[in-house]
């Protein structure tokens, strides 16, 4: 049963536009993540938050900015999208402050940049 | 830096047989956690099984089990009595235990096709 909810599930936009993805988890977890999955299925971590605090910030273009209002929510904004941003963006959460790293994923948000 | 490598791109098996998927990892840490995840055709990614580095016993959950060979930095996934619905992409992943970096690194995935 899904407990990590992402919106929207699909988004098509043009180069230069801004897009936002929202994520909410109802598992009571304290750690949330954004991963990017490209067309070759490669999964790469982008950001990780512990209870609203940014913990992991991989080498990601500055046009990407995460935002967390509380430990149950983590959003991702892309300021001016580029063609290479076309991918599936996956939100995940984990309990115990991410100590073990066992992740629970949302269904993903597929971004297509024309 | 931690690294996870899955060399098998794709595997096909006949249902009800056993399949093993390989994974090797690199880490400088003495404490770490290893995982296998499954991504179905719909895109959903689900956690399957976990091995803690300090545990000598191989983890088992249902018809999934692990072959943990610490000296070889290897964590193979074994699926017994495969079913058609096991067809999916399987990812190996690792989280180093040190610090609070909360960074989980994934392999490139192995696509499993279970044939009738």
Per-residue confidence band for B81, with pLDDT thresholds at 50, 70 and 90? very high
How near does any CA of chain A get to the CA of B4, in Å?
11
Find the residue in B nearest to A42 (Cα): B108
Average pLDDT over every residue of A69-83: 95
CA A52 to centroid of chain Cα atoms: 14
Q: How far apart are CA A30 and CA A55, in angstroms?
A: 12
| Chain A residues inside the 8 Å CB shell of B103 | 45, 48, 56, 101
Mean of pLDDT over chain A: 91
Query: Which residue is associated with the tokens 């699926």?
Result: B79
Q: For an interface test with B, which of A6, A91, A98, A103 has the most B Cβ atoms less than 10 Å from its Cβ?
A: A103
Residue of B nearest to A46 (CA): B103
Tally of residues, chain A: 114
How much is the average pLDDT of B49-53?
Answer: 93
Task: Determine whether the interchain pair A99/B97 forms a contact, defined as Cβ–Cβ distance below 8 Å.
Answer: yes
Rounded mean pLDDT, B18-30:
94
Q: What is the pLDDT of residues A25-63, one digit of tens each?
A: 999 998 899 999 999 999 999 998 888 888 877 878 999
Determine the Cα–Cα distance for residues A78 and A20; give it in Å rounded to an integer. 6
Beta bridge partners of A110: A10, A88
pLDDT score of B2: 80
Q: In the numeric block, which tokens belong to residue A22?
A: 């929202």
Which residue did the predictor score with more confidence, A8 or A52?
A: A8
Q: Going by DSSP bridges, is the β-strand pair A109-113/A10-13 parallel, antiparallel, or unpaired? A: parallel
User: In 3D, which of B109, B107, B110, B111 has the Cα closest to residue B3?
Assistant: B107
Residue B72 or A101, more confident: B72
| Nearest-neighbour CA in chain B from A43: distance (Å) | 6
pLDDT (0 to 100) of residue B96:
73
Report residue B112 as tokens.
């499993």
Chain B contacts of A27, Cβ < 8 Å?
none
- Of A15-19, A96-100, B92-96, the range with the highest mean pLDDT is A15-19
């Amino acid at each position: 049963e899904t407990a990590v909810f992402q919106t929207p599930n699909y988004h098509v936009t043009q180069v230069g536009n801004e897009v936002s993805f929202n994520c909410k988890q109802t598992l009571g977890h304290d750690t949330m993540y954004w991963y990017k999955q490209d067309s070759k299925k490669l999964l790469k971590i982008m950001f990780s938050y512990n209870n609203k605090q940014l913990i992991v910030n991989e080498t990601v273009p500055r046009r990407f900015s995460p935002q967390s209002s509380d430990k149950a929510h983590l959003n991702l904004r892309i300021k001016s999208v580029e063609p290479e941003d076309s991918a599936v963006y996956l939100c995940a959460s984990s309990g115990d402050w991410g100590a073990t790293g066992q992740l629970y994923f949302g269904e993903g948000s597929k971004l297509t940049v024309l | 830096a931690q690294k996870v490598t899955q060399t098998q791109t794709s595997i096909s098996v006949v249902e009800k047989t056993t399949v093993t998927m390989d994974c090797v990892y690199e880490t400088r840490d003495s404490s770490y956690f290893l995982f296998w995840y499954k991504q179905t055709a719909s895109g959903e990614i689900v956690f399957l099984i976990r091995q803690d580095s300090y545990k000598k016993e191989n983890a088992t959950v249902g018809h999934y089990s692990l072959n943990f060979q610490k000296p070889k930095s290897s964590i193979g996934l074994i699926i017994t009595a495969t079913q058609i619905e096991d067809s999916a992409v399987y990812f190996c992943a690792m989280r180093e235990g040190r610090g609070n970096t909360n960074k989980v690194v994934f392999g490139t995935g192995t696509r499993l096709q279970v044939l009738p």
